[in-house]
Structure 1
Amino acid sequence: MLAHVIVSGRVQGVGFRFSARQQADQYNLTGWVQNKSDGTVELEVEGSKDGVHAFLNDLKEGLNPAIKVDDMKVDTQQDEKGYSSFSIR
């Protein structure tokens, strides 16, 4: 399963990308995360359906106390892109 996500809120300058990578590693997920110029964070994550859903739930919770997620736009699909690791861009 693949999920493409745009996260808005207090998500830049608070360790979001690092925390997302750590959490993805916990669920054996692959993909990438990057800051966008509009203040949001964009990511793609792929792996097992249960792992992706658990990861997305963790994102909504904020991952660490400094992060505040206001909104998440999530598009999912069954076809994966074959990422070999989870990277910060």
Structure 2
Amino acid sequence: MDDRTRTELEAAAFRRLVAHLRERTDVQNIDLMNLAGFCRNCLSNWLKDAADAQGVALTKDESREAVYGMPYEEWKAKHQSAATPAQVEAFSKSHNH
């Protein structure tokens, strides 16, 4: 597989992942962190890191909106619930290495 095709396939997979996460607003970021070790914020940070590495101007707010499909504060108000004690405990255990 040539580099261009690989990049196009990876971009398509990224767009599908973002679309999936936008649809699954029931899945909280803390659950993603506890199960997979990354969340929507991580993904938006990786997008910003890639932009920075290429010299492309992209703010943190812009990268979050690219992942969330709306301003981050709006997404939080609409979809984010408070973490339960069990979620916080699981996060503490999984990220206290």
Q: Structure 1 length as normaliser, TM-score?
A: 0.31
Higher RCO (CA < 8 A, seq sep 6+): 1
Structure whose alpha-carbon radius of gyration is higher: 2
Structure that is richer in helix per residue:
2
Q: Structure 2 length as normaliser, TM-score?
A: 0.30
